A and B are shown apart, each in its own frame.
Chain A
Amino acid sequence: MRRSASRLPWTLIVFLAMASVPWIGSRYDAFLAGQITIDALFAVSLNLLLGTTGLVSFGHVAYFGVGAYVYGILMKAYGVPFVFAFPAAGLGAALFAAISGYFCVRLIKLYFAMLTLAFSQIVWAIAYKWNAVTGGDQGLPEIPYPDLGWMSAIPGCGDLSTGARFYLLTLVLVAVALAILHRIVRSPFGRMLTTIRDNPERAAFIGLNVRAYQLAAFIVAGGFAGLAGALYGIFSRGVFADYVFWAKSAEVIIMAILGGMDYFWGPPVGAAALVWLNQQVTDYTQYWPFVLGSLLLILLFVFPGGLVGGVVAGVSRLQRIIAGRDA
């Protein structure tokens, strides 16, 4: 009886609710939903480092950006179709993560964080200055939507705009990516990452090559961030140097912490909360960074385990109260 709430297929319910947005919501709702969906993948990819492996990356946006640019360049300069350009964006970001990560995992704690930040600033500088390839400060505008005509064949989708169709495609791709990440986190490999998070010194002495595992996590996280970046480029109809600016790395860290980095679904909840808060606060005041900062402070103070941590603690407390009554 008491456990029934946790047996509900929450992920399916949320997925269906998100999928219904193009039919029941406004255009603006669909815009927010797309933003949340992409940020959710970006935040979960970061959390593979932050919450699972215990690596604080201040430069995760670099891989998001590399993915966006790889997609944008392949699409605009070479006309590569989505089915190839999208995985290529993930692979490109993973490759860059392998190179930069090779150096980053040689450092620990704050030095690791600083080096990740340095790499992301390098990517930003390249994006900003290398006009011939990245478009410099003009970026790569007018990234076209992939061809989604085939979706007319799906019942109910015939009347949807291309934007709405792309949102549905994004939702499905993100769902698949999250399912894969979920499996990875629950796998023996993921378990090894959690031992490294808890105690790298001890982890080495159960026989783990700690740096190799950290690098593997870095590559996987970078690859999925790249996929999120590619989706974002299409979603925003362009790829710009702003995407790689360090502030976005801070934003995604906030999403993970706000939602709860000890929980797989924490970062997506954090992404939803931040996008929503951002939009609410911007509607009412121009001082939104200040209001947002204060709100976040309060939230983190009240829910040190993030929003999901708060809910979990609340539910188990409720259960204990009910159990106390039953006894």
Chain B
Amino acid sequence: MLEVRELHKSFAGFVAVGGVSLDVADRQIVAVIGPNGAGKTTFFNLITGHLRPDSGRVIFAGRDITGAPPHRICRMGMGRSFQRTNIFAKLTVFENIQAALLAHHGRGRNFWSRSEDFYRVETEELLVSIGLQDEARTVAGTLSYGNQKQLELGIALTSDPRLLLLDEPTAGMSATETHDALRLLERIAGERGLTLLFTEHDMEVVFAIAEKIAVLHQGRLLAQGTPGEMRADPEVRRVYLGATT
């Protein structure tokens, strides 16, 4: 599904991502963990086209997408959420999803019909599936943090992605919110046969749902393997898990 080969990115001499390779198989749930500043977000931005790598390749569903612009990559079937919530704050929850559906179906060039009339049923269905049907008319910027994250997931799902990249999907959530968010993620990934690649700082979350874990440290891949292997790896324990286990 996704092959990342030797990605490099530095900012003014500072190596944020230094030669990372990672394979994600179809329908696999993969976590990228690592302390703050390890380069996780940068790594995601390189995959989704928000940043251009200095060198290395990104191959998605058999196609080389290295350096392609985000909107193209999105249309190929990759969805993403952002670490800081990325919704359309002044639009209502309903309009957020509806707008994303319009974009996905390439209706944005239509400048003469009423946008309200499009994809009402689909929007409603998606809102039900992410559990936000009761907030349909709420202005998105006024939602609780947990609900904003849910909405963001909903926006990412509108493009019917095969691969979903989630940057710290539970960051800033309370324990119950985290629990609910995980259940939601697992259910949706199962229903839609999604491949998930996510970053996370909360170890509980990682070990609860990841099938494969990649450990990033100072821009380099320290180790990768199953949760069990990672728990056992002495180096991983030393630099990262040491503090929490």
Interface residues of A (CB under 8 A from B): 183-184, 186-192, 194-195, 197-199, 201-210, 213, 262
Q: Given known contacts A187-B110, A195-B103, A204-B71, what 17 new A-B pairs fall within 8 Å (CB)?
A: A186-B116, A187-B114, A188-B107, A188-B109, A188-B110, A190-B115, A191-B99, A192-B103, A194-B88, A194-B90, A195-B88, A195-B91, A198-B90, A202-B87, A202-B88, A203-B88, A206-B158
* Contact in complex: B108, A213 (CB < 8 Å): yes
A-B contact pairs, 13 of them (CB 8 A): A184-B112, A186-B116, A187-B110, A189-B109, A192-B99, A199-B89, A202-B82, A202-B87, A202-B88, A204-B50, A206-B159, A207-B106, A262-B90
B111 touching A190 by the CB < 8 A rule?
A: yes
7 closest Cβ contacts across the A-B interface? A189-B111, A198-B88, A202-B86, A204-B70, A192-B108, A191-B115, A206-B103
Q: Inside 8 A of A204's CB, which chain B residues have their CB?
A: 50, 69-71, 74
Q: What are the residues of chain A within 8 A of B112 when measuring CB–CB?
A: 183-184, 187
User: Which residues in window 58-113 of B have CB below 8 A to A?
Assistant: 69-71, 74-75, 79-80, 82, 86-91, 95, 98-100, 102-104, 106-113
Chain A residues near B110: list those with CB within 8 A. 187-189
Give the interface SS of chain A, mostly helix, strand, loop or mixed. helix
Smallest distance from the beta carbon of A16 to chain B beta carbons, Å? 25
Please determine whether A192 and B102 come into contact, CB atoms closer than 8 angstroms. yes
Nearest CB on A from B113, distance (A): 6
B48 at the binding interface (Cβ < 8 Å): yes
* Interchain CA distance A187-B102 in the complex, whole Å: 10
Q: How far is it, in angstroms, between the C-alpha of A262 and the C-alpha of B139 when the chains are bound?
A: 14
Instruction: Give the A-B contact count at a CB cut-off of 8 A.
Output: 104
Which partner residue on chain A sits nearest B108 by CB separation?
Answer: A192
- Residue in A184, A195, A210 with the greatest tally of chain B CB atoms within 10 Å: A195
Number of interface residues of B (CB under 8 A): 39
Q: Report B-chain residues with C-beta under 8 Å of the C-beta of A203.
A: 88, 103
Chain B residues near A189 (CB-CB < 8 A): 108-111
Q: Are B159 and A207 in contact (CB under 8 A)?
A: yes
* B126 to A: closest C-beta gap in Å: 13
Q: In the assembly, what is the distance between CA of A32 and CA of B102, in Å? A: 42
Cross-interface CB contact of A207 among B88, B103, B116, cutoff 8 Å: B103
Contacts of B111 in A (CB 8 A): 183-184, 187-190
Select one of B89, B102, B156 contacting A191, CB under 8 A.
Answer: B102
With a cutoff of 8 Å between Cβ atoms, the chain A residues found around residue B79 in the complex are 205
Chain B minimum-CB-distance residue to A187: B111
Whether B74 pairs with A187 at a CB distance below 8 angstroms is no
CA distance A45 to B44 in the complex (A): 38
Instruction: Please give the distance in Å from B90's CB to the nearest CB on chain A.
Output: 5
Contact (Cβ within 8 A) B50 A201: yes
User: 8 Å CB contacts to A: which residues of B153-175?
Assistant: 155-156, 158-159
Beyond A186-B116, A187-B113, A201-B82, is A210–B71 a contact (Cβ under 8 Å)?
A: yes
CB contact under 8 A between A206 and B91, given known A189-B109, A191-B102, A201-B82: no
Chain A nearest Cβ from B168, distance in angstroms: 16
Instruction: Please name all residues of chain B whose beta carbon is closer than 8 Å to the beta carbon of A188 when the two chains form the complex.
Output: 102, 107-111, 113, 115, 118
Name the A residues within 8 Å of B90 (CB-CB). 194, 197-198, 262
Counting chain B CB atoms within 10 Å of each CB, which of A201, A204, A205 scores highest?
A205
Interface residues in B106-162 (C-beta closer than 8 Å to A): 106-116, 118, 155-156, 158-159
Contact of B99 among A183, A195, A210, A262 (CB under 8 A): A195
Q: Is the CB of B115 within 8 A of A206?
A: no
Tell me if A199 and B108 are in contact (CB < 8 A).
no
In the assembled complex, the Cα of A199 lies from the Cα of B50 at a distance in Å of: 14
Closest CB-CB distance, B30 to chain A, in whole Å? 19
A248 to chain B, nearest CB (A): 28
User: How near does chain B come to A255, taking the closest CB pair, in angstroms?
Assistant: 21
Report if A209-B71 is in contact (Cβ < 8 Å); known contacts: A188-B115, A192-B103, A192-B108.
Answer: yes
Closest to B86 in A: A202
B109 CB contacts on chain A under 8 angstroms: 188-189
A203 to B86, CA, bound (A): 9
B94 smallest CB distance to A (angstroms)? 12
Could you tell me the distance between the alpha carbons of A198 and B92 in the complex, rounded to whole angstroms? 12
Chain A residues near B155: list those with CB within 8 A.
202, 206
In the bound complex, CA of A244 to CA of B106 (Å): 38
Report chain A residues within 8 Å CB of B89: 198-199
Nearest chain B CB to A188's CB is how many angstroms away?
A: 4
